[in-house]
A and B are shown apart, each in its own frame.
Chain A
Amino acid sequence: MQALTSRARQVDRRPMTFIEKIYLWNIIKGMIITFKHIWKRKETVRYPEQKRPFSPVFRGLHILNRDAEGRENCTACGLCAVACPAEAITMEAAERKPGEEHLYREEKYAARYEINMLRCIFCGFCEEACPKDAIYLTETFAPANYKREGFIYGKQDLLIPAPGEKKKA
């Protein structure tokens, strides 16, 4: 029969020799192996102080981007919501009023933009679908929360702070 892996080995079914039967020698061999581990490198990452770097393609929490003048990029076209396989994105569009040109880049904007982080599978399709470079996935992940409602991130959670504005905690 074809072996499934190249590392498969035949089990040794020969009767045990006397040295194996008294068991003591094998215990000593095992103890030597564990003793050698005293000098091995410790694998632990001391988490809050030490963080393991993410890979460059890591996909984490979303942000909504602004342009260079601090205006929201999103035009509420809904392509991200269509692309989303988990149906985690909801949005409501609104028309830009005169005098709001410094807030929104184009005539249409998202009045409400919500991502349910419990539904989201962090596939990054929204990022790829977006024609306006408005949504990006970052290198952080959603912190724990006590309620399910806490995982529905609204615009205030997703938008990056405008220049000169401090993000609310």
Chain B
Amino acid sequence: MNIDWFFILEKIVLISGVLVISLVVAMYSTWGERKVASIIQDRIGPNRAGFMGLLQPLADGGKLFFKEEIIPGNSNRFLFILGPSLAMIVACMTSAVIPWGDTLTIAGHTVSLQIADINIGILYIFGVVSLGVYGIMLGGWASNNKYSLLASVRAASQIISYELAMGLSLIALLMMTGSLSIKEIVEQQRHGGWNVLYQPLGFLIFLVCSFAECNRTPFDLSEAESELNGGYHLEYSSMKLGFYLFAEYINMFISSALMSSLYFGGYSFPYMDSLGLAPNLVTILGTAALFIKIICFLFFFMWVRWTIPRFRYDQLMRLGWNIMIPLALANMLITGAIVLYRSTH
């Protein structure tokens, strides 16, 4: 049997790299969140720990690790610990199918900067993201606290309703591209134009739904920290609470990466094939372009959070079921009609 050691090594390096990068980006998103909040509110923000407060995430993490760990007496201990672990695992798993760049050529080997180019990439992401609801439900259920349970039911129903509209808006995109592989969608945008130009309504629906999926303001009813004293993670303390909060930032990072890949050309940038640079250099520039897009999206997430007030729960549900889903269906129908017309003429 011939084992391709280079392949295994390549994948291990890639997996650890992506994991580390998504953790670091999530860490510094907390810093960015606080800085953006302070700038929008005419403050300075964290500036004590290190230059411009850059060590603040480390201090926060260290604090969470050393906090007292409280597990409620009547809770189900196994499920109580499983909840935040599941939220964290699921948040980290989604990064597997996102193409972080084109191919690099190292010592004659072609290395694709994507952990797994599976042909059902988008389905995989939807499957894994839906698992994230279990983290929330388990956390709320295992706390043995009726307010946690109510909050987790609220969060779960919100995520499930917005997942529908999100899926429908993606179907329109899939009808255009004809592929479920994210890599192929990005490659099509590299040669054609960015999908956001052909699917503006679909992108808008996807954007709003991803705010709801990430439990971000204006849809952060599962937490509503300013009025509810915590939601499903009410009984959590120490790093288990940290995992829940951290998973939210990783989810934000992943959905930014997903939106950049699906609608904004992923790792491709304008004129990337006509620059006449070495292919490896173009790949690295492409990865940098992807990260710039991701950072723009992250800033957008934070910008919206400090601008728009929270929806009331009935308004949230009405927006989801009465507006987003019909709009997504209409978008799907129009796209379908145009695709059909194009293919017959």
| Interface residue ranges, A against B (CB under 8 Å) | 27, 30-31, 33-35, 37-38, 40-44, 46
Contacts and interface: CB of A to CB of B under 8 A. Distances in A.
B40 interface: yes
Contacts of B39: 37-38
A38 B44 contact: no
B307 A30 contact: yes
Contacts of B40: 34, 37-38
A30 B308 contact: yes
A34 B43 contact: no
B306 A34 contact: yes
A7 to B, nearest CB: 22
B227 interface: no
Interface string B38-79: 011111100100000000000000000000000000000000
Q: Is the interface of A mostly helix, strand, loop or mixed?
A: helix
A30 B307 CA distance: 6
Interface in B299-345: 303-304, 306-308
Contacts of A31: 303-304, 307
Given A30-B308, A34-B307, A43-B42, 7 more contacts: A30-B307, A31-B304, A31-B307, A34-B306, A37-B41, A42-B43, A46-B44
Contacts of A37: 39-42
Interface residues of B, number: 12
B43 A43 contact: yes
A49 to B, nearest CB: 11
A41 to B, nearest CB: 7
Most buried by A among B39, B303, B307: B307
A37 to B, nearest CB: 5
Contacts of A33: 307
Most buried by B among A27, A30, A43, A44: A44
A40 B40 CA distance: 9
A41 B39 CA distance: 10
A38 B39 CA distance: 6
Contact of B303 (A34, A41, A42): A34
23 contacts: A27-B307, A27-B308, A30-B307, A30-B308, A31-B303, A31-B304, A31-B307, A33-B307, A34-B40, A34-B307, A37-B39, A37-B41, A37-B42, A38-B39, A38-B40, A40-B42, A41-B42, A42-B43, A42-B44, A43-B42, A43-B43, A44-B43, A46-B44
A35 B40 CA distance: 7
- A-B residue pairs, 4 tightest by C-beta: A44-B44, A34-B307, A34-B40, A30-B307
A35 B41 CA distance: 10
Nearest to A41: B42
Nearest to A37: B40
A29 to B, nearest CB: 10
B324 to A, nearest CB: 12
